[in-house]
Amino acid sequence: MPQEWLAIIEGNTHHRWGWFRANQLQKVEAFSPLEAPDWPENQEIWLASVGRPVYQRITSQQIVRLQLSDVPLAGLYANLGLDRALALLAAGWRYSWPSLVIDGGTALTLTAADGKGRFVGGAILPGLALQARALHEYTVALPNVDFTADIPEGEWRVACKTRWGMNTQDAIHSGILRTVVAGLADFVQDWWGSYPNGCLVVTGGDSPLLSRWLGWHLSNTLPQCQVQRDPDLVLQGIAICRANKVPP
């Protein structure tokens, strides 16, 4: 079993490469789907395609293309997103069951499992950037708001208390972020009612912002529910699938 190998996620807006040594993630790289580089020769690669595939024409005995059936979870429906299943698998294995995963990507998804690791459902909505882009592209005058910029701690605490924007950009930022976080919190509270003491994990590109805001919101409404942030859950899920399939 090679000690060094590569996990690749073909996503909608980015392709992520995770370099592993055994089962330990060493480095993560992100590329645009239009600029994804050729992979190294003679490298063991495990590939999960969930967006725009660019590597489908490349064949190699060292490439394993994961399918939903490779994910050892019960109750999955046939066209469930492979990334959602991999993230849920990693959340349960790395933290605990029951698990609820919130993935803040192009689409914002919630995916849940019970105490035995059985899929029990989820939800999908447009991600933060996609909502902002829709306002910008389908109106004449509204700007495109960036949700990726990191806000210093002091400014973030002020932002938590500032609901009513005094300019268009702040109004869009507040409107999208606060309604999304309130909606997520509603799902979390409903899930927690069925699975108290479950594990809540936030992943994906928007996980720094969402975990921060959701943690703040839940500290007031459901303080016993702690928010874990793990930005590389899908890559970790690939590693778990590999460990289950490849003998030591």
Active-site residues, by number, are 83
Q: In terms of Cα–Cα distance, which of 234, 245, 244 is closest to 25? A: 234
For 2, phi then psi, to 5°, come to -60, 140
DSSP annotation of 165 reads -
Q: In terms of Cα–Cα distance, which of 45, 90, 49, 72 is closest to 236? A: 90
Question: Do the beta carbons of residue 83 and residue 234 sit within 8 Å?
Answer: yes
Q: Which residue has the tokens 């993630």?
A: 25
For 26, phi then psi, to 5°, come to -100, -40
For 13, phi then psi, to 5°, come to -115, -15
Burial track 215-233 (b if 16+ CB lie within 10 A, e otherwise)? bebbeeeeeebebbbbbbb
Q: Which residue has the tokens 């609901």?
A: 163
30's tokens:
């992100």
CA distance 34 to 126: 22
- If you count them, how many residues does the chain have? 248
Q: Which residue has the tokens 């409404």?
A: 221
128's tokens:
């933060």
